[in-house]
Each structure stands twice: as structure tokens, then as C-alpha cells.
Chains A and B, each alone.
Chain A
């Protein structure tokens, strides 16, 4: 099948060309387009606004220095998010020395994935939203994920990158992205169930259910 470059590819090539000749408006355009996702990725990874801001700044400073060598093998966005992710990981490694394993095994942890909480809370969050608590609840649940799961979940489900783009940013296979995304979602579902379920109904024999109920 013949593949013609679409409009976004032409725009991207044009932007890269302008960046390489030092066009200031191209630099500003790059910042406008990609700073929101970079900030969100950094914020979820660091769980700290100041550090997220520092990662954001470092990312663009590094990218501006390196853009002359950008070869266009990936999209500009993917390239930038990868720089940001690596900058965040470096900081996290410094934060907790000796390093705990940032990556985690995909095998042997099947037990983690078994749903424990089996209460339907799908009608509740909107009420909580009115009290302004929802964002805090979502942030706390996401912050409890491991670093790798946070990266996958943020890029896929919050920032809307494709599986292929996420895999490229994080240096994972697409299969690993899918597996990790599923693990992240199950873990978040579990935590949100804990938040959104009134304690009374959780005590009514609903924990475990058909999944066995053994903790």
C-alpha cells in the first residue's frame, strides 16, 4: 500500500526544519505543543510540583541543545517525552539510594492482580466530585503505583498516547505496555474501590467473591 505523508507529518517535518535553523517561533511552538504532556508525565512520576517543573525545564533545555542532532526516526513528541521520562527516572534514582527496583517483574506477581474489592461504586464518584475531593483521590491512588506503572498509565490513559508511542517513550515492547497498563488499571480500580465504598458495604462479605477472597 502506498503511504503518503499526512498533514501532521508534513507539519512535523516543517517544524523540525525550522528548529534546525534556530527559528525562535519554532522553539515556542514546540513548547506550546508538548509542555502539557511533559508536565503531566513529570508530575505523575515525581509527585511533586517543584520537581515536575524542574524536569520540564531540563527536558526543553536538553532538547534545544540536541535538536541539531535530531534524526527524525521518532516523532518530536515521543523524543521529548523520552527525554523527560529519563530525567524523571534519574531524579527518582537519586531520591532513593540505594535504588529500589524501578522496573518490576511481570511474572510471579499474579496474586497482585486478583481483584479483592467487589463492590459497585460506579455511581458514587460524581457526588464526591461535587465536594472537590475527586482529584486528590485520583492523585493519591496513582501516586501509589510503581514508577513504571505510573509512566505507562500516565502516557496511555491520561495523555492518550498510543501503545506504540508509549512503548517507544519508555523503551518497552508493546506487549509489556499492555500488560503494565492492565496492572496499573487493576491496582487503581482496587484503590478507588477502597476510597469510594462506604466501609459498611465492604464488610458485607463482598470482598473476594468469585475470585476466591483469600488475601
Chain B
């Protein structure tokens, strides 16, 4: 019964909590990983935390980066007394 497993399970959930970022990043030790997956199969609350944590990270990765506004970039070049590169943004690397 997800989410209502009593105090023992709550302790287990809390124990796993610290590892969840490593789990979401795929950086967790395989044994611990299997343990968390076994736990999540039984615990709906932890599964929700993991799913929403993963979604949180993916939203910021997709939409969190702000483009440098063109006028900000122009003023930066002016302050630095630099000429803009001919094909700015595509020329380096």
C-alpha cells in the first residue's frame, strides 16, 4: 500500500533520500541502485519523489538556460572595445 507503510518504511524512505540525486544521475553504486528500485516497487511515495525529482532536473536542463540578449551582447562588445566576429556564435571551437 503505497504511502501508508508506517514508521519502519518511513525510516527506510529517509535512508534512501540522500542517494536519490545520484540515482537520478545514474551515478549510484549498482547494489544501492537495485535496493532503491526494489523499494520503489513497493513505495509509491518514493516513486513519486524520484519521478518528480527527475522531471524537475529535466525541466531546468531544457528551459533553464536564458539566451544572452542581443543588446546585452552588443553592449558587452562595446565596453570591451572588441569587434564582433563575422559569424558570432558559430565560429569558435
By a beta-carbon cutoff of 8 Å, the part of chain A in contact with chain B is: 11, 24-25, 27-29, 31-33, 35-36, 39-40, 43, 49, 53, 56-57, 60-61, 64, 113-115, 118-122, 125, 129, 134-135, 138, 142, 153-154, 157-160, 178, 181-182, 185-186, 188-189, 192-193, 206, 209-212
Question: Which of B49, B52, B69 has the most CB atoms of chain A within a 10 A radius of its CB?
Answer: B52
Given contacts A31-B76, A56-B76, A114-B17, contact A189 B49 (CB under 8 A): yes
The answer for the CA separation of A116 and B57 in the assembled complex, in Å, is: 18
Chain A minimum-CB-distance residue to B19 = A182
Inter-chain contact A138/B63, CB cutoff 8 Å: yes
Inter-chain contact A118/B45, CB cutoff 8 Å: yes
| A and B contact pairs by CB, cutoff 8 A, 20 listed | A31-B80, A49-B72, A53-B76, A56-B76, A60-B76, A60-B79, A61-B79, A121-B52, A122-B52, A157-B64, A158-B61, A158-B65, A159-B65, A182-B18, A182-B21, A185-B57, A192-B52, A209-B4, A210-B2, A210-B45
- Interface residue? B37 (CB, 8 A): no
Which residues on the B side are within 8 Å of A121 (C-beta)?
A: 52, 55
